[in-house]
Structures are given as structure tokens and as C-alpha cells.
Amino acid sequence: MNAPAAPRYTRISGTGSHLPPRRVGNDELVRLLAARGVETSDAWITERTGIRARHFAADGVNASDLALHACRHALEAAGRRADEIDLIVVATSTPDMVFPATASILQAKLGVHGCPAFDLQAVCSGFVYALTVADAMIRTGGATRALVVGAEVFSRILDFDDRTTCVLFGDGAGAVVLEASDAPGILATDLHADGRHVGILCVPGTVGGGKVLGDPLLRMDGQAVFKLAVGVLEETARTVLAKAARSEADVDWLIPHQANIRIMHSTVRKLRLPPERLVVTVDEHGNTSAASVPLALDTAVRDGRIRRGDTVLLEGVGGGFTWGSVLLDL
């Protein structure tokens, strides 16, 4: 009789990120909006959201371009070449084309071919969803070394005449190399969706008959999203910790989706975590949707806060309505 196979886990072996060079501070955005007759202020944006700046991609720069830079940094950090990757998953709600997948375009830009490459659409929960799917594929033997990416150009779907949304979002990409491992790695994952709330955060338009049909810009009921987000972020954090038989005290770093500093502070308070364990990048990045969690992870790894062996709780929440979390030892 064969000995039972040793359990297979996954671990992150490298992180990377990329922001397009154009940084738009609140004051510049206030001036740009004023020129369109839209009134806002640095004080309102900072107090209500914690956002001081965001980055916008230049015309012609797509999600796959931002993803490419992030992936190169992640591969370098992992000490891997692109041709050693056997799975590419890109979380994005702002793909380069209707089809094929941004992941296929990214694969070509990385100069490799053959491995499976697909996009995953769960809006701001996209990275946490993509990490969960890649983790499952690696643990069950379907892949051994994956690039998991969040990449967005939300500036393309913003209505710059709607001050309740256009001040919130930015562009960017973050990536990790996820590898099969004898030891975890990813300790537990927890994903959810509730399609009853499709309408509170959406881009309702589509393409048909050679035209854009309906409204192709982001629409959000901010207060409804806020209320749901604070509840589910606490719930999924507790669930994923219970699944891993860990407690709040074991969390070295909390990286929630970077949408609004008030939502993030509320989550820290509810989980009774020391505020210094919260990683914050929303101030400089704005809300970059699926890119926000890997961008924040890479920022804190590169500035030396998050170290190998630390326990990190990643949380996503966004359109769908979707939410979830991944608990991992780096």
C-alpha cells in the first residue's frame, strides 16, 4: 500500500506592485473638478475617506500594462522567471477588452505561453477570490507556481461629474507569486456573495449591436455599501480565524480592502486589534478595487513592516455584493 500523500499547502514567495506615475493629489483633483463645475474639497475627501491622493494611468495604458510591472517585481522578489509559472489569475473589473481575458494578454506580455490564464471578476473582493482559487488549484495538484494579480484602471469608468464617486478611486496593480509548499502558507480562506445587492455598486452598462448599451460608468450607493462593509468585514475575519483555529491575538497585520479609512478603523476596533497592526495605503492610492490588497501587502513587505513568518489577514469587500478573507503566514 502506498503511504498517504503529504498534505500540500501554498505560500507566497514574492510580492510586487505598480502605480502609474501620474499622482493626482486632492488639491489637483479639486481644481480639475471645479473646471467642470463640480464642487468638492480636500477637507471633505480627507475627512470622509482618508484619501489624499490617487494615481491615474495615461491614455493607452491598460490593466495588463500595470499588471506586467507588478508581476515582474513579484517574480524578481520570488527569484523566479516567468517561464516557471504554470497558472496566471488576474482579478480585474476593468479588463483591457471584453475578451480575451486580461490574463491572456498579460501572459503574452510576460513572453510565455501554454499555462492556463484567466480573469476573475469579484470587483473589490477580486484579489481575495483569486488567491483562494489559485490556492485550491495548487493544493489539489492543478498547478505548482501561480501569478495572482489584481490590476485596475478605474479612472476609465468614473463619472467625473459625480463627486460622490469620482474622488474615491485610483489605478494600480499588485501581484504575488504563490507556490506549492510542504508547510502553510495560506491557513484558511472564506468567500461570500449576496446578489440581492447588485444595484448598490455597479457599472450597469454593456456592449451590444456594436454600441455601448446603458450607463457605462460606476454607480454606487455609498451609504448602503458602507453599512454592509463594516458588518461583513468583521464577520469574515472571525470566520477565517475560526477555520484556522487562530485568534485575533495571532494577527500581526490586517490588510483590509482600502476603500475608506473609517471602514478600516471600524474593523480594527471591532476585532480589538491594536491600530498599529492595520496597513493603510488608501491615503496615497485611493480605492484601487482588486489591486488594493496586493498593493498594500507589497508596500508593507517592501518597507520592512511585514516579515517572513508574520501572520497576515487579507480582507476584500465590494460590488456583487462580495466579500471574503484569506489568513496566511508569510
- With respect to ligand ACO, which residue has the nearer C-beta, 161 or 182? 161
Active site residue 287: yes
Q: Which CB atom, from 192 or from 246, has the smaller least distance to ligand ACO?
A: 192
User: CA 26 to CA 42: how far, in whole Å?
Assistant: 5
**Least Cβ distance, residue 210 to ligand ACO (angstroms):** 27
Residues in the chain: 330
Provide the minimum distance between the beta carbon of 159 and ligand ACO in the complex, in angstroms, as a whole number: 12
18, 26, 71, 124: the active-site residue:
124
281: Cβ–Cβ under 8 A, 6 or more apart, which residues?
A: 258, 292, 295, 296, 299
3-state secondary structure of 246: coil
Whole-Å CA distances, 265 to 156, 168, 295: 29, 17, 19
Specify the residue, 95 or 318, whose C-beta has the smaller distance to ligand ACO.
318
Q: Which of 69, 257, 260, 285 is catalytic?
A: 257
* Closest alpha carbon to 319 in 162, 231, 196: 196
Residue nearest to ligand ACO (CB): 318
Give the containing element (helix H, strand E) for 255: strand 253-256
Q: How far is the CB of 123 from ligand ACO (least distance, A)?
A: 4
For strand 322-329 and strand 311-318, is the pairing parallel, antiparallel, or unpaired? antiparallel
Query: Which residue, 150 or 319, has its beta carbon nearer to ligand ACO?
Result: 319
Spatial separation of the C-alpha atoms in residues 264 and 257, rounded to whole Å: 8
Cα 99 to Cα 115: distance, rounded to the nearest angstrom: 18
Output the 3-class SS for 169-215.
ECEEEEEEEEEEECCCCEEEEEEEECHHHHHHEECCCEEECCEEECC
> Minimum distance from CB of 155 to ligand ACO (Å)?
13
Tell me, what DSSP letter sits at residue 37? T
List of residues contacting ligand ACO (CB under 6 A): 40, 44-45, 48-49, 123-124, 163-164, 167, 201, 222-223, 225-226, 229, 259-260, 263, 287, 289, 318-319
Residue closer to ligand ACO, measured from CB, 117 or 232: 232
Minimum distance from residue 287 beta carbon to ligand ACO (Å) = 6
Q: Catalytic residue numbers?
A: 124, 257, 287
